A and B are shown apart, each in its own frame.
Chain A
Amino acid sequence: MNLTLKIWRQKDANDKGKIVDYPVSGISPDMSFLEMLDVLNQELIEKGEEPVAFDHDCREGICGTCSLYINGRAHGPQTKITACQLHMRSFKDGDTIYIEPWRAKAFPVIKDLIVDRSSFDRIQQAGGFISVNTSGNTQDANAIPIEKENADKAFDAATCIGCGACVASCKNSSAMLFVSAKVSQFALLPQGRVEATDRVLNMVKQMDEEGFGNCTNTGACEVECPKGISLENIARMNREYLAASFKG
């Protein structure tokens, strides 16, 4: 396959950045999208040029690191996969492919296609945990009966890998799907109820302070989420937040 790549290049956080065209040839349809970028980078290195910086780690859809906005969609044209799970057979010979970083004020670009997602870490630190005594006599979580429906919903919410595709896809750069998944996975379990009020208040406060936008329920986040996190989690977080606000 011969392709034209239009890639966002930005030296550092202070650089203005621009789209640069790169023709690539000899791309196998069986390559993953990141392997295609590896080929490009090899060529750039051999020519003495700066390779394209992009995030990647596990390359099997678990770590959520490969944050690429491909042809106007988070993680590319397929649904429920990450960019590393995208293969070149999804494109045609002669295609032009736009590759951009996540765009959000709360996700500043560090270099080329890499963004700083530490705002997600700070939201997690604000309440995305349960306090457990780890002195050696910790109760086995399996000893607490949990109804199957809630256990399944909590598990579904917990599959969020924090990749940020929800923020990247949302026209408002809202982080509501991410935060609601983290709130829900604890709110649905008895272990998480103890700190539920403070958790939701603190996590939403941190989310707002980071500069994410407001959810307008377009549903783009749910469609683009590689793990299929449901909008029901946002409704649950809204309920949790409103109840906590009136209670507090």
Chain B
Amino acid sequence: MSGILNSSIGRKFAMALSALFLMIFLVMHVSINFTSVFSPELFNEMSHFMGTNPVVQGLMQPILIFGVIFHFVMGFILEAKNRASRQVSYAKNAASGNSSWVSRNMLLTGLVVLAFLGIHFYDFWVHEMTVKYIEGDMSGLIDPNNADSGFRYYEELREKFVSPVRVGFYAVAFVLLSLHLLHGFNSAFQSIGANNKYVKSLKGFSKVYSIGIPALFIFIAVYHHFAH
């Protein structure tokens, strides 16, 4: 058991577990976001719950942040080791004949997603942390001195999607996330040793997930941009 993370298989196993965790988180995230399309009240209630519940804030949020950082750091470590394993490149390499573009460019698609996450954290997470833990406003209200002003989350969400540039970048990042997932979903199962008839039957679902989840995120952004 000791030193499992020092082995190539152990590192891939850890990478896959963090990926599976993040894929489950994406489902939860898009589900909450989607409520903003048909019920601002429900979106506000869920956002307030997620933003103030001590279990979510004190336990789940740190685990999520660790999972995100671990996935990216381990990705860079694996890439560095892989590059070191071939010191002289081929003069001619026809890799497109034996593997898909997405499978060979997980670092590229991952870097775009990382850049998006930086902006996403700045837009929402840093703002939330500032309001709640620096300014000390845990009310979640538009006007903390007026209980009738209503929750601020829905209004803030719509405000973020006014800019067409931000919506455009948002859409591009989620297209890249979709490409990342198209390889990553099945790859995660292979890395944990699951390659059997049951997992193979998941291939159709993996495509639905990999295209559907990012498409929903894009739809929500575009919807609020035009509905504003």
Interface residues of chain A, those whose CB is within 8 Å of chain B, are 6, 8, 19, 69, 71-73, 77, 98, 100, 103-106, 169, 171-174, 176, 204-205, 207-208, 211-220, 223-224, 231-232, 234-239, 241-242, 245-246, 248
Report if A105-B84 is in contact (Cβ < 8 Å); known contacts: A218-B103, A219-B98: yes
Q: How many whole Å from B55's CB to the nearest CB in chain A?
A: 29
**Size band of the interface chain B makes with A:** 35 or more
Q: List 26 A-B contacts (CB under 8 A).
A: A6-B91, A98-B92, A100-B91, A105-B86, A171-B82, A173-B82, A204-B9, A205-B7, A208-B7, A213-B8, A213-B81, A213-B86, A215-B8, A215-B191, A218-B103, A219-B99, A220-B95, A231-B195, A235-B196, A238-B191, A241-B7, A241-B10, A242-B13, A242-B193, A245-B1, A245-B10
* Central interface residue in A106, A223, A235, A239, by most chain B CB within 10 Å: A235
Given the known interface contacts A239-B193, A242-B193, A245-B10, the answer about A72 and B94 at a Cβ–Cβ threshold of 8 Å is yes
Q: Is B97 an interface residue (CB 8 A)?
A: yes
* Besides A6-B91, A212-B8, 7 other A-B contacts (C-beta < 8 A): A103-B86, A214-B78, A217-B103, A219-B100, A220-B95, A223-B99, A245-B4
Residues of A within 8 A of B139 (CB): none
Residues in A neighbouring B180, C-beta threshold 8 A = none
Q: Which residues of B contact A246 (CB under 8 A)?
A: 1
B88-133 residues with Cβ-Cβ distance < 8 A to A are: 88-95, 97-100, 103-104, 106
Inter-chain contact B85/A169, CB cutoff 8 Å: no
B85/A173 in contact, CB under 8 A = yes
Report B-chain residues with C-beta under 8 Å of the C-beta of A248: 1
A204 is contacted by which of B8, B81, B86 (Cβ under 8 Å)? B8
Smallest CB–CB gap between A108 and chain B, Å? 10
Contact among A176, A218, A239 with B104 in the assembled complex (CB-CB below 8 Å): A218
Q: A69-B90, A231-B195 are in contact. Are A214 and B82 (CB under 8 A)?
A: yes
Interface assignment of B158: CB less than 8 Å from any CB of chain A: no
A236 touches B91 (CB 8 A): no
Q: How far is the CB of A234 from chain B (nearest CB, A)?
A: 7
Do B186 and A217 have beta carbons less than 8 Å apart?
A: yes
* B11 at the A interface (CB under 8 A): yes
CB of B103 within 8 A of CB of A216, answer yes
Residue on B with the closest CB to A98?
B92
Q: A235-B190, A235-B193 are in contact. Are A172 and B91 (CB under 8 A)?
A: no
Q: Would you call the interface of chain A mostly helix, strand, loop, or mixed?
A: mixed
Interface check B71, CB cutoff 8 A: no
Chain B 41-75, CB-CB to A under 8 Å as 1, else 0, gives 00000000000000000000000000000000000
Q: How far is the CA of A207 from the CA of B9 in the complex (A)?
A: 11
Contacts of A219 in B (CB 8 A): 98-100, 103
Which chain B residues lie closer than 8 Å to A69 at the CB level? Answer: 90
A215 pairs with B103, CB closer than 8 A: no
Given contacts A213-B81, A217-B183, contact A236 B193 (CB under 8 A): yes
Docked Cα-Cα span, A171 to B88, in Å, equals 12
Min Cβ gap B221→A in Å is 30
Provide the bound-state CA to CA distance between A78 and B215, in Å.
Answer: 38
CB-CB under 8 A for A208 and B8, given A71-B94, A100-B92, A103-B88: yes
Q: Which of A71, A214, A215 has the most CB of B within 10 A?
A: A214
Q: Which of B85, B88, B98, B191 contacts A211 (CB 8 A)?
A: B85
Q: Are A217 and B190 in contact (CB under 8 A)?
A: yes
B206 within 8 A of A: no
CB distance from A27 to the nearest CB of B (A): 20
A37 to B8, CA, bound (A): 38
A66–B117 alpha-carbon span in the complex (Å): 47
The smallest beta-carbon distance between A154 and chain B, in angstroms, is 17
Closest CB-CB distance, B99 to chain A, in whole Å? 4
Please name all residues of chain A whose beta carbon is closer than 8 Å to the beta carbon of B89 when the two chains form the complex: 103
Chain A residues contacting B99 (CB-CB under 8 Å) are: 171, 218-220, 223
Q: In the complex, A216→B187 CA distance in Å?
A: 7
- With contacts A204-B8, A231-B195, A235-B193 taken as known, whether A216 is within 8 angstroms of B90 at the C-beta atoms is no
Q: Which of B10, B84, B89, B92 has the most CB of A within 10 A?
A: B92
CA gap between A248 and B2 in the complex, in Å = 9
- B88 contacts across to A, CB distance below 8 A: 103
B192: A residues at CB distance < 8 A: 238, 242
Is B87 engaged at the interface, CB distance under 8 Å to the other chain? yes
